[in-house]
Amino acid sequence: MQNGFVESFNGRFRDELLNETLFSTLGEARQQIRTWQHDYNHHRPHSGLGNMTPAEFMAMKGLEMRAAQTHKSTRGFSEGPEESRVSGQL
């Protein structure tokens, strides 16, 4: 097995949807897949993500990334430009 996560996902997708559903049209298949995908990403906790849903995990990671970017862009600045002008350092 090359990638356990992908193999597990494919197995669940096949077992829970594809093997259980007879689609009448391509449109119906697309709609059922979207519904399954939404459930998988927004309502189903994953142990590999600390029992969070993928959507919760991505929201948390997005906040962490924004905080890290803010910290990175402000690192080294102890005073704002206004304070520098007042103290005569600009």
Residue 72 contacts residue 53 (beta carbons within 8 Å): no
Domain membership flag for residue 72: no
**Contact criterion met (CB below 8 Å) for 54 and 41:** yes
Distance CA 4, CA 13 (A): 14
Does any domain span residue 51? Answer: yes
Q: Which domain holds residue 30?
A: 9-65
The total number of structural domains that make up the chain = 1
Domain-located, residue 85 = no
Residue-wise pLDDT for 7-32, tens only, equals 989 999 999 999 999 999 999 999 99
pTM of the model: 0.64
Residue 86 inside a domain? The answer is: no
